[in-house]
Amino acid sequence: MNLTNYLCPGQPAPDFTATAVYGQEFCTVKLASYRGQYVVLFFYPLDFTFVCPSEVMAFSDRHAEFQALDTIVLGISIDSQYSHLAWIQTDRTLGGVGELAYPLVSDLTRAISTAYQVLDPQQGFALRGLFIIDPAGIIQHLSINSSSVGRSVDETLRILQAIQHTQRHPQEVCPVDWQPGKPAILL
């Protein structure tokens, strides 16, 4: 099977520059500016929907755990920065997400979703793609779910920690269900 036309672990993450909402402010996010840190980049279909706020809020509620692992979290959808701002300004009890601990990136042109190969051309929005990018800008993990299936923050953290462990200890690999503090396998 030839995977040269598909994004895979070990390939450079496609760079992008886009407008985002962080706090209550618009800002410019450039992926390359996060070199030297890990990045969890997750795509979700749309603001003001059903599964999306559960993920967006869960990543925000657990943001301190990602920070402790020297990791930046970026959420991204095809919505405009204005839609993101309205969603952030809407209370969680009213269908919004409230204040978030990380930027929501706007991909209104769908260029980023296309570059990361998560755009559903029939629906016109991104599937639930998740990418873990290492400090050198290399994709170390990716997963793509259908729009109807949410992701696990616990599993994202576990995979991130396993990647960090193997990068710090290149003579080791992490077996199934590996958890920090558990033994790895020596090569």
Q: Is residue 65 part of a domain?
A: yes
Bridge partners, 26 (sequence order):
21
Instruction: Write out the residue range of the structural domain in which residue 119 sits.
Output: 17-149
pLDDT digits (tens, 9 = 90+) for 71-127: 999 999 999 999 999 999 999 999 899 999 999 999 999 999 999 999 999 999 999
Amino acid at 35: R
CB of 37 within 8 A of CB of 164? Answer: no
Distances from the Cα of 124 to the Cαs of 7, 16, 149, in angstroms? 20, 19, 17
pLDDT digits (tens, 9 = 90+) for 144-186: 999 989 999 999 999 999 999 999 999 999 999 999 999 999 9
pTM score of the predicted model: 0.95
Q: DSSP 3-state assignment of 5?
A: coil
Q: Is residue 169 part of a domain?
A: no
Q: In this predicted structure, what is the pLDDT of residue 4?
A: 58
Which residue do the tokens 């601990």 mark? 101
Q: What is the mean pLDDT of residues 61-66?
A: 98
pLDDT digits (tens, 9 = 90+) for 8-59: 999 999 999 999 999 999 999 999 999 999 999 999 999 999 888 999 999 9
Q: Is residue 77 part of a domain?
A: yes
Percent of the chain with pLDDT over 70: 98
Q: In this predicted structure, what is the pLDDT of residue 6?
A: 87
Q: In this predicted structure, what is the pLDDT of residue 50?
A: 85
Can you give the CATH number for the domain in which 37 is found? 3.40.30.10
Q: Is residue 182 part of a domain?
A: no
**Active site members:** 52
pLDDT digits (tens, 9 = 90+) for 127-139: 999 999 999 999 9
In degrees, rounded to 5, the angle at the alpha carbon of residue 57 between the alpha carbons of residues 47 and 114 is: 45
Q: Is residue 28 part of a domain?
A: yes
Q: Is residue 69 part of a domain?
A: yes
CB of 166 within 8 A of CB of 172? Answer: yes
Q: Is residue 54 part of a domain?
A: yes
Q: In this predicted structure, what is the pLDDT of residue 162?
A: 97
Q: Is residue 163 part of a domain?
A: no
Number of domains within the chain = 1
